[in-house]
Structure 1
Amino acid sequence: MGLLTLFFIQEGWAQNSTPTPDYGLSFASHEVTKDQRTSLSLTPEEPFTIKEDFEIRFDFSLKRLIDAYGYVLRIIANDSINIDLVSSPEHDDFHDLNLIIDNNPPQIHYDHQDIGLRPLQWTPVTIKFETRRKKLTVSWAGKTKTQELPFANLRTFRFFFGANDFGRFNTSDVPPMILRHIALQRVNDKTIQWDLRRHGVGQVYDNTNTYAAIAKNPTWLIDKHTTWVHAQQFTIARYPSVAFNSATGTVYATDKNHVYTYHLSDGQMHHARVRQGKPVYIDANQLLYIDATHTLVNYDLYTNVLSAYDFDHQRWQNSDTTYNLPNYWHNNKFYNSFDRSVYTFGGYGHFNYKNKFMRYDSASHAWIEVKTQGSIPPRYLGALGLTAAKDKALIFGGYGSESGKQELFPQSFYDLYTFDLKTHAIRKLWERKSEPGEEDIVFSNSLVVNEEDSCFYVLSFPKNKYENYIKLRKYSLSKPEWQVLADSIPFQFHDEHAFCDLFLSKATRQLVAVTSHKQIDQYKINLYTINYPPLSTTDVFQDTAPRIARASYYSILVFILITGTLATLAVIIFVRRKKKAPAVAVMTTATTTVAHDAARHAHESEKNIGTIYLFGGFQVFDKHGHDITGKFTMTIKELFVLILIHSVKFEKGISTTTLQEYLWPDKGDMSARNNRNVNIKKLRGLLEEIGDLTIENNHAFLQLALGKNVLCDYHIVSRILATETPLTAQTAETLLRFVKRGNLLPNIQTTWLDNFKSDISNRIIDVLLEYSQTLNATKDDRVLLEIADTIFHYDSINQEALVIKCSVLNKKGKYSLAKTWYDHFVKEYKTLYAESYPKTFDEVIS
């Protein structure tokens, strides 16, 4: 994070304007293994045929100047001649940057000092080919050098940045570079330009969506505007509070004995033990960093306390350690420079919501109610932020009631007000009424105002859930319009004992999300960052169908148009379709061909070739039918199951943040990321043994793509259960084939899996019971008994299954066996519920 932060600062940012989102392709270099290094091919299928003069241009930046050997650009002419732009800064026999033609010593070269190249600074590069004059010119940061091009009749050109695997010219030597604005300009022709801003999955189109370049192992800088990065996690003691210094990018956290500081610029975490004094001993205390006075203050309204912290002497002004019950949970706070006072608004305590603005009077050492022009309905869990001029406060949303009484119709508010810091006038800007059945959401303690774009940013989360997810929202300042940005942040919300806040770091051009939740007598603090301004995935993702993108195809198309030969067109379409890779279906709950697929899979499952079983226990067979379950360690098994189950149930799969929270919660972000990458690499190797099964990384979400030759029982069962039409005999047979094996992953006991187990168990039982109502007890006795036995796997005291089992057995003349089953059920019912089963055997079989 620190490396890219420096890059952001390099370009500068006027604090009163919205910065341009950072974009470009960052190349993984020698810091990773060879198969994880980055490549970008402008000619993934066929070379460009270029008979006239042309030039290729791009913006270039090195992330570091040492350990920076590698191929910036490799051009292959006529599939036989290499023209290489090579970074070699630590080689005595070469210069820092060299143009090597057909493996001859370079005539064109540059040293870093020649062009003023510094780490993380953009410089423009142009390579111009004048093929008829047999001349080649390189311009780097405005410094131009020319040499003879010792070849004639160059007609085709391939362009590779970083690594490539093209025949004998393949290389894995990649410099630690960043590229953007790649352009190919032919004489008297339109420029083909890849800005490397919007991109697809593994490919990026030029600005006309015509020419596709292929990227392997890409890191798109723009994605840092759509994805939260887990920056830090730490645990503090009682009486927690959090504040932020926007100018330096410093997070402050306090507990009863320490003051913690985390610096976004370098990722360093420090803590100092308080030598004298104490923060306010109250669970709902608040912390505020005052930019104007460079002061950290801790306060509580109920006890009339405001205490400043002395960084030099590590002491608080407050010495009172009396604990008081909070009366202003989740109040909002800000510093008013007009009267040099700390203000608060709202809060909750003792069954009442608050709506007063309070000011701390330093002369009387007391909180005083502010007389306002206008009012805001009482609330807490709302957001507040100041405008750039610090003359107005925006107050948005929250949960409360018009009367302030918790008993009288509490509700979520979705309204926006301004409070004038000078006149204390309140003005309502807009309000949106909640829709019937709409989930109540509440907001972070702070919001971030972006007046230039007439919007503000705020964190939101459902109020009535414990296992929660925070979403970043962008709201208009002028009307009730909003959109959800970025990915989600995990959050455990326990009302008073959980807290989240949002800050803008001007120092590092990032939004910072801080969450806190109680764990016994401690609090876990998590910090997340996202580059500013935040974007949605639709802002950066290229979703376009491939087009014919090579000169040869254009030539054929012209021929077609001239001759009107439809047969030729048909041939071309056929050829292009044949060239396409085999289809891979991302796992979804699509239901159009469930019956057909289910029957086919039912037959193929007998072979156990390329098969994954989750019901009855984890078991995997490779593409040859060999059982390779033993190759899955516990971590890789859980990693695989996490990605698989989330890919089936959720459209996007599982976020890398959630994955790290589940598997490596006690590790720092860097360590967790390394563990994740290593284990995913191992998992991908095992998936290749199974068959056409791949893990796709789409905007920090991992998704499993399942090919047609791989069978997964959980995938098939989920598709069948997702159908809106009732089961047929065919789909019921397939469903029973898999689910009668037993419960979902009975040998994996982990908290995150419980909800999935419960959900699919309930759905299996409901669907099978519904289907059983359509069957005849005499004709379909075998199926009914199988349904009953299967339901007992998931619910050992299911009364409907007992009725089915005993009734069918009784009608088949097996009265004693039916009675045995009944007695067994009654005994287990008594054990679990500590009461007798209410129905007699005769009532069950009647």
Structure 2
Amino acid sequence: MKILLLAFTVLFFIAAIYPQRDELNGIKFNSENVQRFQRTSLFLNDNKPIELQNSFSISFDISFWDLNSYGPILRIEENYGNEIRVIYKSFESKDSSNIYITLPSNDNFISIKLLKKRLLRNKWFNLKLIIDKQGESLIAEWDNLLIGKIPYQIKKANKFLFTFGIKDFKNPNDFDVPAICIKNILITENNIKKYYWDLNPFDKDPLADKISDSKINVINPVWLYSDHQKWKLIKDILTSGHSNNQPGLAYDSINSKFFIDGKENLIVYDLILGKDSLIKYKTTSPAHWNDLSYDENKQLLYSYFTARGEVSVYNLKKNEWEYIRKKNDDAGYYFGSTKFIYPNDGKLYLLGGYGYYRTKKDLFSYDFVKKDWQIVKLKKNEMTPRAWFTFGKAFNDGEYFIYGGFGNDTGNQELGFNSYYDLFVLNMNDSTITKLKLPKEQKFSYSYLFNNLYLDTKDSSIYFLSMKEESKSFTFSLNKLDLKTGDITTVGNKFWETNEHSWLYASLNYSKSTNEFITAIFFNGKYELFSIKYPPVSETLIPAFQEVKQTNHTEVIIFAMGGIFLIILVIVIYNKRKGKSNKIGEPINSRFNIDYSFSGAKNSIRLFGGFHLYDKDSKDISASLSPKLKEIFLLLLIKSFSNHRGGITSEELSSTIWPDASPESAKTNRGVAINKIRKFLSNVEGITIEFSDKLWQIKINNSANCDYAEYLKYCSLFKAGNTLNGSLLNSVLNVLAGGEFLRGVSYEWLDSIKFAINIEVIGFLKSFLESPEIKNDPEKIVRICDTILQFDIVEQDALKIKLRTLTETGKIHIAKSSFNLFVADYKKLYDENFPLSFEEFISS
């Protein structure tokens, strides 16, 4: 038992200090922001030719940190001096930019039109170029969609130089570099991976590729993770000449816009465009010391005195204030309270606050008829009186986290206020405020906490903003609270400093469109907007990583993990495989979660290779589901395939999704969630949620389909003794082309199901290899083995059969390349060298 405890402790420690997230990978290119000789260039294979005798492709992920800088993204020069050029041309029209892919003759090209409204900073795209020597053509794909194909005679060329950015710094005419970021560079030959640079700054050698150890030569690199460490000022917005006259600010998270009430006009700042505009009011707003809230559903702005007060309403469509505040609620100041709009009822709410030497704990809602705040009767309120706490959405619909703040048990200031480090949840579904028990309440120094906290559901952490007085000055920090451990860390750098003692107003907002946190701070008559890329990381985290790797502590930790694997072998190996599912070693068509067989199929569900749901227009709408609704949908779907019942009861659904909720709360949550999913499915024909025989089921009729249901059908046919033929095999392999079942999706209830399905699929495919018809068809054998390796990258039986088949058919070069890739995967997965050579392995 002690060994098990130690094992989990080491695993947890590793997870805590090694948060390897793909978002931190990549190199950012210096562009027009610096002088020519400070700009960034990247040369593959140390600026030496790469030999490619056959058809090949190069793909990479790209994002733009500034849309206005023209220049070559990539140049491919072959050994005859000809050059393919990929050029970014900013804003050829008012609404779009273009990427041009030109051939040496310049008489033919492929154009990729990038709409300005979709070309957001920090948004990643994938560009792939395929040089088909047999077909004498060049093919371009953008985000896995075919963009163009043009003739290109290149049969004789076999050596190629690949350059991103400036190619020749000695050439005064070669000076343009677009403002881009690059990662995940992949080169394949005959669909076999030959080079892969993910540009992971945490690797021992971030510039070495994962297959052949080929190096990148980079000039003036700027590692992308630095944007996750440093806040930067993106905009100053002047609002008033009076330093204490705080104008209200509200955020539209759907359209990534800030609204600032300037009394005579409304200031609108568009994060995507990076521009602000003015709307002159028809009627003057309250504007003095007012909070501002934006109702995204009704498109209304609400303005009310910071300490409470009567509410005024601004209708954006009519451009006028419909109610004007006539008086302040002087008898009940609530400074430092939180105000929010509950979308389920559209009401304004106010919680906590400070006034007349007391902190408060009551919850109010605003009555527009009586023009007054009415107290909400809570069934339970375990929160002590407090103000200047942080507040935001929790895991479940209708629930909000409340963290920290200051106050005391009575609320009376004369008894002294304390800083709090506790966590509560406000449940609007059952009108309760309940204290949650953190593993520990870690203390840190702060003067105020600010709204709005942000919950990362992937790693169960909340981010919140704090201000601290240090050495007679005030600074802001972003903090991360790990709900699993109670640990609090400062992420990003401390930013914004003043030594003036004055009221300070700030808010934290997450922009989904640009994948960054935006902090708005009001001081001395202006709002200052700062941004940091998501996820933010500690300033000290990266140097600590580098130091650990340089001193070889990584090897010590991996050795300890080796002992853990022996104890809990099946679970840990499975989790490791799951965690590495998007790393080097997976088949080409799953690197970017591509499902070539079913991509764009309308009215369909795809579970192999990840979760995808296509509507009646063949649009993948799975990303539009909230994390909780996605989990509920998948639970209903998988239980609908159950052989013995074909559904799930209300009680099972509630206990799985809301294990800690009361029966009444769970019933309410369940009803709301089912209705939302039904509404979501209205754009999909043939897929419905039904309740029959006390079971919730997802029904799929003949106008729709699901790859897992197809797989189960083929399993039944095969088990029933149907004769194996080429058509059946092709159908099976097409269904399974995506690879691992629900890759990248993990829930406590799901992991064992995924593991069982993946093992079952491998066994099912192996049974095909025993068929006499297949044994005489090398092409089908290799295809079956490749599909098996999609589900388990180190499945040695399938690999051995594949290598023997390739060798016997004279494709020894491809066989050895496949083996080298397997050896690299094996090393990465188990941190030990594979014990056999190529010859020893295929003869074993």
TM-score, length of structure 1 as denominator length: 0.51
For 1:207 and 1:313, the matched residues in 2 are separated by 58
State how 1:22-61 maps to structure 2 within 5 Å. 25=27, 27=29, 34-44=36-46, 47=48, 50=51, 53=54, 55=56, 57-59=58-60
- Determine if the alignment matches structure 1 residue 525 to structure 2 residue 527: yes
C-alpha deviation, 1:33, in angstroms: 5.0
CA 256–473 in structure 1, closer or farther in 2 if over 3 Å, else same = same
CA contact (8 A) 1:355 1:378 kept: yes
2:269 aligned with 1:262: yes
Structure-2 change in CA distance of 1:388 and 1:160 (3 Å): same
Are the structure 2 counterparts of residues 43 and 498 from structure 1 closer, same or farther at C-alpha, using a change threshold of 3 Å? same
Q: Structure 2 CA distance, aligned partners of 1:494 and 1:351?
A: 23
Cα distance between partner residues in 2 of 1:51 and 1:272: 59
Residues 72, 162 of structure 1: 8 Å contact kept: yes
Relative to structure 1, is the Cα distance of residues 398 and 279 closer, same or farther in structure 2, using a 3 angstrom cutoff? same
Q: Which residue in the other structure is 1:420 paired with?
A: 427
Deviation of 1:352 after TM superposition, in Å, equals: 1.7
Structure 1 equivalent of residue 301 of structure 2? 296
1:193 corresponds to: 196
Question: Could you list the per-position Cα deviations for residues 210-257 of structure 1 after superposition, in whole angstroms to 9, with x for gaps in the alignment?
Answer: 444233345666654444332211232424322212112121223555
User: Residues 261, 161 of structure 1: CA spacing in aligned structure 2 closer, same or farther, 3 A cutoff?
Assistant: closer
Letter of the 1:348 counterpart: Y
Q: Which residue of 1 aligns with 2:237?
A: 234
Q: Which amino acid aligns with 2:297?
A: A
Cα distance in 2 between the residues matched to 1:254 and 1:129: 58
Provide, for residues 617-636 of structure 1, a one-character-per-residue CA deviation record: whole Å limited to 9, x for no partner.
Answer: xxxxxxxxxxxxxxxxxxxx
How far did 1:418 drift? 0.6
Query: For 1:323 and 1:136, how far apart are their aligned partners in 2?
Result: 78
Aligned partners of 2:212, 2:491: CA distance in 1, in Å? 25
Alignment gaps of 5+ in structure 1: 1-18, 548-846
Aligned to 2:791: none
8 Å contact kept, 2:309–2:328:
no
- The offset of 1:413, in angstroms, is 0.8
2:299–2:315 contact (8 Å) kept in structure 1: no
Distance 1:171 1:306, change over 3 A: closer
Instruction: Give the CA deviation at 1:477.
Output: 3.7
Distance 1:301 1:57, change over 3 A: closer
1:343 deviation in Å? 1.3
Cα distance in 2 between the residues matched to 1:292 and 1:408: 43
- Return 355-364 or 494-503, whichever deviates more: 494-503
| Separation in structure 2 between the aligned mates of residue 192 and residue 292 of structure 1, nearest angstrom | 48
How far the C-alpha of 1:498 sits from its partner, in A, is 0.6
3-state SS in 2 of match to 1:35: helix
Is the 1:449–1:455 Cα contact (8 Å) retained in structure 2?
yes
Question: Are the structure 2 counterparts of residues 32 and 308 from structure 1 closer, same or farther at C-alpha, using a change threshold of 3 Å?
Answer: same
Offset, 1:36: 4.2
Look up the equivalent residue of 1:230 and give its one-letter code: L
Cα distance change on mapping 1:68 and 1:366 into 2, 3 Å:
closer
Residue number among 375, 395, 401 corresponding to 1:369 in the alignment:
375
Aligned to 1:397: 404
Shift of 1:170: 9.5
Counterparts of 2:212 and 2:416 in 1: how far apart (Å)?
Answer: 53
Aligned AA (2:450): S
> Can you list the C-alpha shifts for 1:601-641, whole angstroms capped at 9, x where unaligned?
xxxxxxxxxxxxxxxxxxxxxxxxxxxxxxxxxxxxxxxxx
- Residues 147, 345 of structure 1: CA spacing in aligned structure 2 closer, same or farther, 3 A cutoff? closer
Q: In structure 2, which of residues 254, 272, 295 is the aligned counterpart of residue 247 of structure 1? A: 254
Measure, in 2, the Cα distance between the counterparts of 1:172 and 1:374: 64
Q: 2:465 — aligned with what? A: 459
CA contact (8 A) 1:57 1:181 kept: no
Match in the other structure for 2:392: 385
Distance in 1 separating the partners of 2:361 and 2:305: 16
Per the alignment, in what secondary structure is the counterpart of residue 407 of structure 1? helix
* Alignment-derived partner of residue 320 in structure 2: 314
Please state how far the C-alpha of 1:260 moved relative to its aligned partner. 2.4
RMSD between aligned residues = 4.6
* Alignment partner, residue 97 of structure 1: 101
The correspondence for 1:468, drawn from 458, 465, 474, is 474
Question: After superposition, what is the alpha-carbon deviation per residue over 1:648-695, rounded to whole angstroms, capped at 9, x for unaligned?
Answer: xxxxxxxxxxxxxxxxxxxxxxxxxxxxxxxxxxxxxxxxxxxxxxxx
Residue 528 of structure 1 deviates from its aligned partner by 1.7
Alignment CA distance shift 1:265-1:208 (3 Å)? same
**How far, CA to CA, are the matches of 2:216 and 2:331 in structure 1?**
62
Name the aligned partner's letter for residue 279 of structure 1. P
1:504 alignment partner AA: Y
Please tell me the residue identity of whatever aligns with 2:348.
V
SS at match of 1:172: coil
For 1:510, the aligned partner's letter is E
Q: Which residue of 1 aligns with 2:517?
A: 511
Does the aligned pair in 1 maintain the 2:310–2:327 contact within 8 Å?
no
Is the CA contact 2:28–2:180 (under 8 Å) kept in the aligned structure 1?
A: yes
Partner of 1:139: 139
Give the whole-Å Cα distance in 2 for the aligned partners of 1:267 and 1:188. Answer: 41
State the secondary structure of the residue aligned to 2:412.
coil
Q: Tell me, in whole angstroms, the C-alpha distance in 1 between the residues paired with 2:270 and 2:52.
A: 55
Give the deviation of 1:72 after TM superposition.
2.1
Contact 1:278 1:320 in 2 (8 A): no
Higher gyration radius (CA)? 1
Aligned residue runs from structure 1 range 170-189, under 5 A: 171-174=174-177, 179-185=182-188
- Mark the CA change 1:378 to 1:210 in structure 2 (over 3 Å): closer, same or farther: farther
Query: Which residue is 2:110 aligned to?
Result: 111
Q: Is the 8 A contact 2:440 2:487 kept in 1?
A: no
Structure 2 residue corresponding to 1:501, chosen from 501, 507, 529:
507
Instruction: Return closer, same or farther for 1:76/1:250 CA change in 2, 3 Å cut-off.
Output: same
Which whole-Å CA distance do the structure 2 matches of 1:188 and 1:508 have between them? Answer: 33
Question: Do the aligned partners of residues 466 and 310 (structure 1) sit closer, same or farther apart at CA in structure 2, a change above 3 Å counting?
Answer: farther
Q: Distance in 2 between matches of 1:331 and 1:539?
A: 34
Gap change, CA 1:123 and 1:493, over 3 Å in 2: same
TM-score by length of 2: 0.51
Q: Aligned pairs, how many?
A: 504
Residue ranges of structure 2 left out of the alignment (5+ in a row):
1-20, 93-98, 552-844
- Kindly provide the CA deviation profile for residues 321-352 of structure 1, in whole angstroms up to 9, marking residues without a partner as x: 77959832211111234554211111122222
Deviation of 1:384 after TM superposition, in Å, equals: 0.8
Question: Pairwise mapping of residues 733-744 of structure 1 onto structure 2 (< 5 A)?
Answer: none
- Provide the rounded CA distance (Å) in 2 between the counterparts of 1:166 and 1:472: 40
1: CA distance, partners of 2:322 / 2:342: 22
**Helix, strand or coil for the counterpart of 1:428?**
strand
User: What CA distance in whole angstroms lies between the structure 2 residues aligned with 1:531 and 1:124?
Assistant: 22
| Residues 359 and 368 in structure 1, CA contact (< 8 A), matched pair in contact too | yes
CA 1:462–1:433 in structure 2 vs 1: closer, same or farther (change >3 Å)? farther
C-alpha distance in 2, partners of 1:268/1:126?
35
Matches within 5 A, 1:308-707: 308-311=313-316, 312-315=318-321, 317-320=323-326, 327-372=333-378, 373-387=380-394, 390-431=397-438, 439-440=445-446, 442-462=448-468, 467-492=473-498, 497-517=503-523, 519=524, 523-536=525-538, 543=546
Q: Choose from 70, 73, 76 the match for 2:75.
A: 73
Question: Which letter maps to 2:138?
Answer: V
Please give the residue correspondences for 1:700-739 in structure 2 after superposition, counting only pairs within 5 Å: none
- Structure-2 change in CA distance of 1:404 and 1:86 (3 Å): closer
